[in-house]
Amino acid sequence: MYVFNRNAYAVLAAPLAMAALPVYVYIPKLYGDEFGLGLALTSVMLLLSRVVDTFQDPWLGRLTDYLHPRKYGWKWLIVVAALCLGLSFFALFNPPPLNQAGLILWLGVCLVITLPLIVPSISPIWPQVEFDDWMYLMEEGVLMNRSVMKKFGFRLGEVILFFRKTS
């Protein structure tokens, strides 16, 4: 994939990542102070929603792979995701009057719906790390392996390993 294409995909992911900022900044204050859940419990709910997301995200990736070749598959997915994101954002910041257990459940469900849609991790619009791996036979019994890692066209690191055959 060319650098321009990778950057074009990344540009689409940046606004989605910025949408997560109000969740992490305002939700602990809102639910912790205003609704009386406390900062510790609210933080645990944020953590648990990310743990659920690690299991949920591959299934969402499979859904996007399934819908991609279908007629209107992407359009349908974008409309449904946008509706879910809008409704869950509204519900997250405007909970109904509930007791503490109901409020914890409300927060958890809203976070599980909201965060996978706005925090890109494994998705078709968020490019993965690119590896460029070369092996060179230096001399008899010595092999050099050079790996370069890049993301968004920028070099993240390089590893060089030497292997020597001993008899």
Report the alpha-carbon distance of residue 8 to residue 103 in Å, rounded. 39
Return the closest-CA partner of residue 115 out of 61, 53, 63, 60: 53
State pLDDT tens for residues 28-69. Answer: 888 888 888 888 888 888 888 888 877 777 777 777 778 777
Confidence check: pLDDT of 6 > 60: no
In a domain, 137, yes or no: yes
Confidence check: pLDDT of 119 > 60: no
- What is the pLDDT, as a whole number, of residue 129? 63
Confidence check: pLDDT of 149 > 80: no
Q: Which pLDDT band holds residue 5 (cuts at 50, 70, 90)?
A: low
In a domain, 124, yes or no: no
Check whether residue 140 and residue 96 sit in a common domain.
Answer: no
Confidence check: pLDDT of 122 > 50: no
Confidence check: pLDDT of 124 > 50: no
Check whether residue 103 and residue 134 sit in a common domain.
Answer: no
- What is the pLDDT, as a whole number, of residue 121? 44
Check whether residue 13 and residue 75 sit in a common domain.
Answer: yes
> What average pLDDT does the structure give for the chain?
77
Check whether residue 85 and residue 138 sit in a common domain.
Answer: no
In a domain, 125, yes or no: no
In a domain, 153, yes or no: yes
Q: Which pLDDT band holds residue 125 (cuts at 50, 70, 90)?
A: very low
Q: Which has more pLDDT, 119 or 159?
A: 159
- What is the pLDDT, as a whole number, of residue 126? 46
Residues 6+ apart with CB under 8 A from 45: 31, 37, 104, 107, 108, 111
Q: What is the torsional sign of CA 112, 109, 105, 42?
A: positive
Check whether residue 87 and residue 147 sit in a common domain.
Answer: no
- What is the pLDDT, as a whole number, of residue 16? 60
> 84 with 147: CB under 8 angstroms?
no
Check whether residue 35 and residue 100 sit in a common domain.
Answer: yes
How many independent structural domains does the chain possess?
A: 2
Which range marks the domain in which residue 49 is found?
3-118
Confidence check: pLDDT of 158 > 70: yes
- pTM to 2 decimals? 0.56
Q: List C-alpha distances in Å: 17 to 101, 115, 140.
A: 29, 10, 50
Q: Which pLDDT band holds residue 83 (cuts at 50, 70, 90)?
A: confident
